Amino acid sequence: MDSILTIREIKQLPKNSDFEAMGIVSKFTRRVDRNSNVFWDITLSDPTGDLDGKVWPASSWRNTQGGDNFPIDPDNCGLRFEGSSVRIEGHIAEFRDLLQYNFDEVWYLDQQDYPPRAFTKRSPVEPQFLEETFINLIAEISHKPLRDFVDAVFFKHNLWEKFKSWPAAVTLHHAYTGGLLEHSVSVALGARDIAKHYRDFMIPVNMDLVIAGALLHDIGKLEAYSVSPMPQVTVAGTAIEHITLGYNMLIRYAEIEGLDHDLTLALGHILISHHGRQEYGSPVVPVTPEAFIVSAADDVDFKLSYWKSQIDALNGQSDVTDYLPAIERRLWRGIFTK
């Protein structure tokens, strides 16, 4: 092995290849097989993707902190692997006609020399573009009380610094630094274009509500997720979920800022219905043009982001994913993406 490979590069390797990689452990699960042998399922992440691998009983674990290099027992070493940076040496096997990534050596790295944040994924979209577009979208809101309210939520109430660096999810879509800003800008731009289209076809859509609702629709994720350094669900995110958390934040800020009752009601409906269906987590379904549009833009942005992450994860031997329960289908690479 001549060099450290990225996860994207590893996934292009054929069966029987060896590889070496560095990254952050985003998942770490101890398991026991039918013969009572302990093994581990590990997901290694770097800015190019995620790699699910197995660490078998014969594999080697070593600690390289402070320039040392000595063997360790992962069960009794006092180290927390999940969320830490490691180096992996492994090989690619085949199991049931699928490639299997076996991690033969796991090296716990010095966390100061190799900080975990250096291996976390970030939005592929230029941060300056996202930030400027977000601010410009607020400026497009022509109704001054609504524009001032949205501006106050993000800037007067000090959400902006956190919002622009936060993930939009733990898995599935935009689950990386800057993902929440990227997703919110994408949904707002998409919703704005849909609204313009239907206004041309004489549907009375309020553009200001569409833009404001799209920018605000996921603010509950600021309380539903944490970063340490990988995205994680908080207790509030588990027990209450981001839609209800976001609605409560909206109501709280509306009371503080004195937002008109009807505007609060219309915005609140967009937030609380944006997943489109009750079985998808929305307490109510959309019943206004603005809510229909934001929900549709949110849905397509989620699906396209999820499609991209799953297609990027395919090795070069396949054009179709396995069945994905989260989206209730298999996904196809298509004919123009190779």
DSSP string, 255-301: HHHT--HHHHHHHHHHHHHTTSSGGGT-SS---SHHHHHHHHHHHHH
What was the pLDDT predicted at 315? 64
Contacts of 323 (CB under 8 A, 6+ apart): 329, 330
Do 186 and 281 reside in the same domain of the chain?
yes
Q: How far is 296 from 280, CA to CA, in rounded Å?
A: 13
- Please tell me the chain's helix, strand, coil percentages from 3-state DSSP, rounded to the nearest 5: 40, 20, 40
Report cis status (omega within 30 of 0) of the bond before 229.
yes
Phi, psi of 55 (to 5 degrees): -115, 110
What is the domain-level CATH number for residue 115? 2.40.50.140
Examine the fold and report which residue of 98, 119, 140 is the final residue of a domain before the chain moves on: 119
Q: Are residues 166 and 111 located together in one domain of the fold?
A: no
Which of 119, 152, 170 terminates a domain? The answer is 119
Q: Position 163: which residue type?
A: F
Please give the residue range of the domain that contains residue 30: 7-119
For residue 274, being part of any structural domain is answered with yes
Residue 73 within a domain: yes
Within a domain: 18:
yes
Regions in the chain scoring below 50 on pLDDT = 1
Q: Does 211 lie in the same domain as 114? A: no
Does one domain contain both 60 and 132? Answer: no
In a shared domain, residues 21 and 159? no
* CATH number for the domain harbouring residue 262: 1.10.3210
As given in the structure block, the two tokens for residue 57 are 């009983």
What pLDDT shows up at residue 316? 63
- Does residue 328 sit within a domain? no
Q: What is the pLDDT of residues 65-89, one digit of tens each?
A: 887 788 898 888 889 898 899 999 9
Asked if 169 and 299 sit in the same domain, the reply is yes
- pLDDT reported for residue 90: 95
Residue 265 lies in a domain: yes
Last residue of a domain, one of 87, 119, 151: 119
pLDDT score recorded for residue 76: 87
Q: How many distinct structural domains can be found in the chain?
A: 2
Regarding whether 134 and 107 lie in a shared domain, the answer is no
> Tokens at residue 287, please?
């019943």
* pTM of the entire predicted model: 0.83
- State whether 25 and 160 are in the same domain: no
Going by C-beta distance under 8 Å and a sequence separation of 6 or more, which residues neighbour residue 296? 191, 194, 276
Same domain, yes or no, for 162 and 300?
yes
Is 170 a domain residue? yes
Does residue 336 belong to any structural domain of this protein?
no
pLDDT in tens, 90-146: 999 988 888 899 999 999 999 999 998 888 888 889 999 999 999 999 999 999 999
Per-residue pLDDT at 231: 86
Q: Both 113 and 131 in a single domain?
A: no
Note the residue count of the chain. 338
Q: Do 145 and 280 fall into the same domain?
A: yes
Whether residues 259 and 176 share a domain: the answer is yes
Residue 324 lies in a domain: no
